[in-house]
Structure 1
Amino acid sequence: MKRKMKTMRLEKIIVVAAIVLVVFGACSEYLNVEDATKVDPNTFPADEEEFFQLFVGAYSGLSTGNYNGPWPGGMYNGNQLLLGYLSDEVHRTDNSDPDGGYSGNISSLRYTAENDAFARLYKGLYTGVFRANMVINKAPSVDFTNVSERDVMVAEAKFLRALNYFNLTLLWGDVPMLLEEDVDNPNKLANNPPISAEEVYAQIVSDLEDAIAVLPTSQEMEGRVDVWGAKAILAKVYLFGADELGKSEWYALAETEAKEVLDGSPYGMNTGITSLYDNYQQMFDLANHSQQEYIFAVNHYHTNGATGWGDNDYGSTYDLIVLPWLNPAPTGGNGDRTGWGWQHVYQSVVEEWSDTDPRKDYSLFIEGEALSADVTYHSTTGHHADRAAREGGGSVQKFWQTLPTGKPVFVPRDWPVIRVADLMLIHAEADLMADGNLSAAGLANINAVRTRAELSPLASADREDILQERRWELFMEGHRWFDLMRTKTAETAFDQIAALDPEGEDFDKL
């Protein structure tokens, strides 16, 4: 039967699929064996419609881990802030606890097994793997009117499995590899020994190549990956794998894949917008769901009338936990729901980021800066008195939205997994690292990012220049920690945190 939903956003269907798939998971904690209403995994899905529910559930695994709180298990929700805590971008700002509370001991690298944020993320990523496996392995048992539709959905599931495994190996290196749905053995993950990161990368590349061979050049339904999204992620996999595995021959492969997307896809930077501020505002606008710069993004939405935790599996928690706490709220604002202000920017960010870079002013609130007509940002006094652990630094302004009273706590923010500026810098870095020489095309991509940022073009660039562009262009988008780790520059970055901390060595992360 032909579905009449192809022009809808994928997010609108996720709630239905999540209800069905809540009984499935990557380990026993996610199974409700006493639930008499659960579907029978031996007979589900029985037809095309049920298969489509299963398929959409695989996408929802990118943002939800079936957890009711600010740290859902999926990668592309509040967990992006955890990556900021691990890096040299932000630290927790709760001064009521010496360790900064639940997430503060992550930012100071003092977390223990009692802090289960990463356990939730680990389980959430395997939930995504499990759901993708079900789509891949259940497809042959379902009769389809249009077999090509089924094949495209299987290709998308392979992309999703690859993306989840890519995040798993970036975070944990050697990890267990599960390619079957394992419905009858929910404990298999715990009993399955890890395989090497090199083997994990090989499976990731294989899945992405399989997906690329089948995926269309465009999708009618927003939120579904097309061939360009898969090729862009493959370019990133090759670049990161070249660093992580020492496979220098992969740099050229990364360059090739990135170039094909940049040259052949419909994606590009916003055009006809002269200022960085207006360009960024359009790119990060909550209402703009047709982003030409987002090569692949994770959809989020909120249920009409929802105002609390029950909405978090579908709305994005990121804005809530990142943006400054405003009490009193600005005129027309919505009280403390503007943000919890859980993090403060490191002083090293403030001092190392040039004041002549407009991205800094767009991305940061600095001490004494106006948040609105009637509220001024202060790190340790006034509206933020109970939120900042120390002086200096600033707060995150990027993604800033003043929502009217009554809007839900979680917002319909589409999270960019990979966008054009990211891929331009991936291409430039791979181009340089492939043979030690930066081509005219690679330099042009760096300068395209700089030109949009209202900065003068570079006559030449080395890897440090490219990584610095990534640091500022992709600030607080979940990339910095991985860049520090793959290039083995984390120690230098943490030295700068200690050196520029206004309160001395007590906040040394080393």
Structure 2
Amino acid sequence: MKINSRIIKIVLVFVGISTISCSDDYLDEVTYGEVSPSEMTNPENVERAIISAYSILNGQFDGASNAYNSPASNWSFGDVISDDAYKGGGGTGDQNNIHQMEIFNTNPTTLDIERKWMALYEGVKRVNEAMRLLAASEGFDQNLRAQRQAELRFLRGHYYFELKKIYNHIPYIDETAAEVEDYAKSNTEYTSEELWSKIEADFEAAREVLPETQEEAGRPTRIAAQAYLAKTFLFQGEWQLAYDATTAVMNSNYSLMGDFQELFLPENDNNQEVIFAVQHSINDGQPSNYNGSIGDRLLAPGGPYYSQYGFHRPSQNLVNAFKVTSDGLPANSNENLTDSDPVDPRIDITLGRPGIPYKDLNILYEANWARDLATYGEFSPKKRIVSANSAYHLQVWPYVSALNYYIIRFGEVILWRAEAAAELGQLEEARQLVNQIRQRAKNSAYVQTLDGSQDAGNYQIELYNTPWTNQNAAIEAVRTESRLELALEGHRFFNLVRWGIADEVINDYLTIERTRRTHLSNANFTAGKNEYMPIPQAYIDGIEEDLVTQNNGY
């Protein structure tokens, strides 16, 4: 079997050369020269290898400063190719690769398809190498060895979960891989069910060993492993298993943060709602601030305080989704929102719209902040944008922040349990769980006018006070709540796919949205193809034998 240099780039690990910090709380930057093989099993070097496995979580795996093509937040993979967002930027030619993704013209040579694959398999490779070094280290603290092994299995479960939900049919390589050639494997060696079982096994093993709490922020806990296990069941439609798996999470010390807006402030990172997150930091000595939110560095909204990259732009459809009825419940109307319409208060925490104050900048957001207004409209992201007044925001290139990316938060787990309960016919519990999310939104501080005298918008939100008796309606209500609560957090497309409604929802969306935004005029979602990304051509071409089967339709 022949492996060319392209494959080596895709799978080569940098353990033993340098490691990169992934946490502002516990992983200090460590840069050192080449380490001889005899020294690699020294405990301190094993710990560095483990840190290296963590460091890839933010999607930055080389010196190219373009983790925006492999973002941990999945803003392009989860939002732009859904009904929640447009690519944005300076027209369709700016990062045209992502434009091709949003019109479903993706092919196996698309840059982002390759970069995301490379980042995630780099994570797998670093985990596997760290496992091998840990097992071979005779001097490693025996009391800590099992915990570090569990952390690595958690990380590997995460990387493979991401690969599975994006590419579906993937090669699976474990820690027995010792050479680069061992990573040249078939993507059909295991069935989909077998791949899920392997991912589950990593989270189950991690759950059995990880502690209830971690002294060092950013390391997974037992509940984080339990929550991720629940997510694997959810993606397979194993409703009873998903429901049961959320029980321990619901009964844990994690809880909803009181104010929805404060949840997304970097000074509140690792709060009681955040179950597992990518740890970001800035001004920590790391070259190019690669420990910051490097994958999201193109999302700044413009205006007088931010660079005008202008990507990840909320769709008109998403804006309209926040409209409510006179009863304060979702209106489920795709008629364009007007200034007088009542809206869910989460709208002005989630996205920037004209006439509404933006963060704590004492300024109204204006349509002209938005780059290429004619193409992408007047709205901008807001929820995960850090205030330009904050010490956690970098005012110079690469314009990143120290706001963590939340891979799993407790509010999401509540919605998972609500979904499983609805699917199992436990409609009253599903209603009560959704109401927990809505109650938090209702109790949160609403965005105020600049003088602080009144609400900035016509905010209304109420609970579902009538018992749910129709299962289909209950399932739809949970899905709607999931969209509103998790908007622009990178989850929407993957949820549509696992619900089995991506074709219907996205093509219905495009039918209307292309009349609003001409850049979508050639967009069309093909069922049975566009649910998953293609296997990168570079991987296929790099293997002499016909080991790889391309995904359907590519």
Q: TM-score range by the shorter chain?
A: 0.7 to 0.9
Farther off after superposition, 214-223 or 136-145:
136-145
State whether structure 2 residue 54 is matched by structure 1 residue 69: no
How many residues are matched? 451
Q: Helix, strand or coil: the match of 1:456?
A: coil
State whether structure 2 residue 168 is matched by structure 1 residue 188: no
Call closer, same or farther: CA 1:353–1:501 in 2, change over 3 Å: farther
| Superposition pairs of residues 347-426 of structure 1, within 5 angstroms | 347-354=316-323, 355-371=342-358, 372-374=361-363, 376-378=365-367, 382-384=368-370, 386-390=371-375, 392=377, 394-404=379-389, 407-408=395-396, 409-426=399-416
1:267-307, Cα deviation, whole Å (9 max, x unpaired): 10124xxxxxxx1332111122331100111101123477x
State whether structure 2 residue 460 is matched by structure 1 residue 448: no
Give distance in 1, aligned partners of 2:376 and 2:357. Answer: 18
1:230-274, Cα deviation, whole Å (9 max, x unpaired): 0001011111122xxxxxxx21111111111111x1110124xxx
State whether structure 2 residue 421 is matched by structure 1 residue 431: yes
CA-CA distance at 1:14 after TM superposition: 4.5
Give distance in 1, aligned partners of 2:394 and 2:409. Answer: 31
**TM-score with structure 1 setting the length:** 0.81
CA-CA distance at 1:361 after TM superposition: 1.9
1:289-346, Cα deviation, whole Å (9 max, x unpaired): 331100111101123477xxx42531103553223112xx1xxx4x52xx52113221
Give distance in 2, aligned partners of 1:170 and 1:113. Answer: 17
State whether structure 2 residue 280 is matched by structure 1 residue 300: yes
1:413-458, Cα deviation, whole Å (9 max, x unpaired): 111110011000101111222x333253x33221100111113222
Number of the residue aligned with 1:280: 260
| Superposition pairs of residues 47-86 of structure 1, within 5 angstroms | 47-63=42-58, 64-71=60-67, 76-77=72-73, 79-86=74-81
Letter of the 2:366 counterpart: Y
Give distance in 1, aligned partners of 2:283 and 2:365. Answer: 32
Give distance in 2, aligned partners of 1:288 and 1:504. Answer: 37
Give distance in 1, aligned partners of 2:438 and 2:394. Answer: 38
State whether structure 2 residue 168 is matched by structure 1 residue 176: no
Letter of the 2:405 counterpart: W
The answer to whether the 8 A contact 1:93-1:388 is kept is: no
Q: Helix, strand or coil: the match of 2:352?
A: strand
**CA root-mean-square deviation:** 2.7
The answer to whether the 8 A contact 2:76-2:87 is kept is: no
Call closer, same or farther: CA 1:289–1:346 in 2, change over 3 Å: closer
Call closer, same or farther: CA 1:401–1:93 in 2, change over 3 Å: same
Q: 1:476 aligns with which of 481, 484, 488?
A: 488
Number of the residue aligned with 1:262: 250
Q: Helix, strand or coil: the match of 2:277?
A: strand
CA-CA distance at 1:137 after TM superposition: 2.4
Number of the residue aligned with 2:226: 231
Letter of the 1:437 counterpart: Q
Structure 2 gap ranges (5+): 1-20, 324-341, 443-460, 525-554
Letter of the 1:348 counterpart: N
The answer to whether the 8 A contact 1:311-1:410 is kept is: no
Call closer, same or farther: CA 1:298–1:166 in 2, change over 3 Å: same
Q: Helix, strand or coil: the match of 2:64?
A: coil
Number of the residue aligned with 2:297: 320
Q: Helix, strand or coil: the match of 1:223?
A: coil
Letter of the 2:245 counterpart: E
CA-CA distance at 1:142 after TM superposition: 0.9
Give distance in 1, aligned partners of 2:103 and 2:439. Answer: 36
Q: Helix, strand or coil: the match of 1:296?
A: strand
Farther off after superposition, 110-119 or 478-487:
110-119
Letter of the 1:402 counterpart: S
Give distance in 1, aligned partners of 2:62 and 2:69. Answer: 7
Letter of the 1:396 counterpart: P
Call closer, same or farther: CA 1:436–1:96 in 2, change over 3 Å: closer
Call closer, same or farther: CA 1:123–1:9 in 2, change over 3 Å: closer
The answer to whether the 8 A contact 2:276-2:406 is kept is: yes
**Structure with the larger RCO, 1 or 2 (CA within 8 Å, 6+ apart):** 2
CA-CA distance at 1:481 after TM superposition: 0.9
CA-CA distance at 1:505 after TM superposition: 6.9
Give distance in 1, aligned partners of 2:176 and 2:208. Answer: 23
**TM-score with structure 2 setting the length:** 0.75
CA-CA distance at 1:479 after TM superposition: 0.8
Letter of the 1:314 counterpart: N
The answer to whether the 8 A contact 2:23-2:280 is kept is: no
Letter of the 2:383 counterpart: K
Give distance in 2, aligned partners of 1:72 and 1:397. Answer: 17
**What is the aligned-residue identity percentage?**
24
Give distance in 2, aligned partners of 1:115 and 1:389. Answer: 26
